[in-house]
Amino acid sequence: MNAQHLMRRAAENNAWANHRLHAVCARLSDDELRAPRTSFFPSIHGTLTHIALDDAYYLEGLEALAAPEQGRRCLATRARRETRTCI
């Protein structure tokens, strides 16, 4: 198994897990998604935001391997975006 195959399998598993998670969360109201929860993040919405931003972070990191300067700009943009939206 080469690294590209492992990365592809990890991405497929991530997509599968996200699909299942979003299917369950789609049944919740906005109030339920934003309700305070005892967890690392203060709500399900906060957790979903974190997951989406982390997925973007990894994609941007992979893009940085192909275009390092663009990747650095993307990572800086992501840091600013996460500060505004995660909590």
Name the pTM for this structure: 0.67
Supply the DSSP symbol for 36: -
Q: Which of 46, 61, 52 is nearest to 15 (CA)?
A: 52
Which pLDDT tens digit goes with each residue over 14-53? Answer: 999 999 999 999 999 999 999 999 888 999 999 999 898 8
The dihedrals phi and psi of 26, each to the nearest 5 degrees, come to -65, -20
Query: How many angstroms separate the CA atoms of 25 and 33, rounded?
Result: 8
Residue 1 in this model has a pLDDT that exceeds 70 = yes
What percentage of the chain reaches a pLDDT higher than 70?
72
56 band by pLDDT with thresholds 50, 70 and 90: confident
17 DSSP assignment: H
First to last CA, the chain: 39
Known binding site for a divalent metal cation: residues? 50
Point out the annotated binding site: 50
Q: Per-residue pLDDT for 67 more than 90?
A: no
